[in-house]
Structure 1
Amino acid sequence: MSGLTDTESGPGVPRGKVAADVISPSARGKASTLLRHKWNVQVGKAVPLPPAELAGAGDYRVSIRGCRVHDALFANIRYDSTMFDGTWVDAQYFSDLVVMDVVRRGTWHFTRARGRDKVAVSAGQFIVRYNNPSWRFAVQSHTTQKLILPVAPLGPLIRKRPVLGPVDSAEMRLLLAHVHTVDTELNELSPAGLQSARNTLVELVMGVLRQKVDGAEPQLAPSLVQAAKDVVNSHLAHADLSPSMLARELNVSVRTLHRAFAATNESVSTYIRDQRLEQARLALTRFIDRPSVSELAAHLQFADSSHFIRAFKKHYGQTPVQYARFHGHRAAP
């Protein structure tokens, strides 16, 4: 199969959303032309098309799913191929822009200045670069989150050398939480909300470049809350999960963390408890390998089984055994 599949702005594609695919090199010229046309329809020429004209032989697929917020764009880009050969592809599409890549799978290899500057960015790392002069990258099967921003507000912080770091740094956690929130709620944002989302995006990228974010800034509170929730959801079985641990992970004070949650009418400790109970509820619906009450209590760091049972019944109106007996049988088929 070869060609391009996509959905234009309108029914099926919410405001500001971007969706396009390129499949197989056999129709490379035509597919590239179609992709560029659809990109201009969905995004506009102000934000250039990410490179998708692959030089390697064999079948490939490029999938782009993204979101435009004024003059900024973030997208998930997936390159898949049966015969990628590591051919270098020019990235002049991003001339005079700030580009961030968050590598999720594989390794990106960047070079410029006739090979004098070489950078390898593996999964779990990010790179921020000012694309002037432009960088080239080696095409291989990989997945990346790409963020493209105007250079004006970020230029003073971008030097000739790119900025690299781990994805799980406090600053990146806040940035990625904001990106996730905007992507989820984009179609509900007012024009003022869109502008605020764009400004917050730039502010958080500046924090990444400075390696410091002002967590007390009220505008960043929603991103701080989402980042904290992301940490909670991946540490539910950890004994040290607490507001203090979250504050350390996100490089803010405990007071700042509590204040951010309060702005959304939530409590940090309540969120931790409710997510642990929710994980227990889901485990109790398993028909096979269902854990015991004592195992769940220990795994989710409740003081003991009695404490877990009381908390579960207060939250769901049934004891864990009652819930498992009713809902587990219903889920059996």
Structure 2
Amino acid sequence: MLAAVLTGPGRLELVERPEEPDPGPGEVLVAVRRVGICGTDYHAYDGTQNFIEYPCVLGHELAVEVLAVGRDVTRVAPGDRCAVMPYLSCGACVACRRGRSNCCERIEVLGVTRPGGLRERMLLPAAQLFPGDGLALEQLVLVETLGIGWHAVRRAAPGPDDTVLVLGAGPVGLAVAQAARRTAARVLLADPVPRRVGFAAGAGLHAFVVGGDLVARVREHAAGELPSVVFDASGNHASMERAFELVGPGGRLVFVGHTRGVVTFANPRFHASEVTLHASRNATAQDWEQVLAAVRDGSLDATAWVNHRSTLTSVVDDLPRLASSPGHVVKAVVDLGPEEERP
């Protein structure tokens, strides 16, 4: 069985691994069909991902097909096509007991702290599978990204009186913007990469290129006022620090991306404006159920984001190129079959 293994920063190798055993109680054997590549994978390749444990099989955005199920599994059946929630929580810590499994104290994440999906077959707990119920593989592989955005928006709860600014027009920023415009009065999207801004504008979003006096630029696009809700989806240290200056009085700032090191801000303005700061990590099963419902009814559609395709054998060469210039690709997907469903 072939797998793409990241043995250390800058070292992605295609290796033969033993075949997976038959599924045990509560387990499911799946064939991996699609794997999304995102900023987490780029940072893992560069050695700047906060939680990666080497060596690791990358791949946490997954669409799979069920091959066999273990005893007592009723959630899915052979032949089902599913999205895979890659966050494995303990169910017992204080966060889990409070319904915050996304920030479990002992959380494991496929493709980060546990082997992920850049391989032909894998065993998974049945509880991690969300049946697609007729959705295409291209839709299922994007559920994880959409879930990240959905959860972040649920953290800030923008309403019809809010102007929202999203910093970063990558897939997570796009996911945040899509979720936010379901409830917010106005959603703005800003990024330093013109190509990304152009894509976002083509998708119907109010997007602009950042540069120069950032505060003035934001005011220009927000009718002279600062936004009441700001999401930083860039994961960029400088952007996260500047984001504090962009939140209007009484507003909310949400860090969706994360970075290594210390993020600083000017306390007097932060305090005087009574800004609320949120971190947003992963997503919950509730978020995923709501995302899947929105994808089914057509109110969320991210399939147009996929503008680069790879295969399991070619991703070893593709990932270094993608990681070196992530702004040139909106969404990359590794296609592992089946051939009759390839776009």
TM-score (norm 2): 0.27
TM-score (norm 1): 0.28
- Return the structure number with greater helix share: 1
- Please identify the structure whose Cα radius of gyration is greater: 1
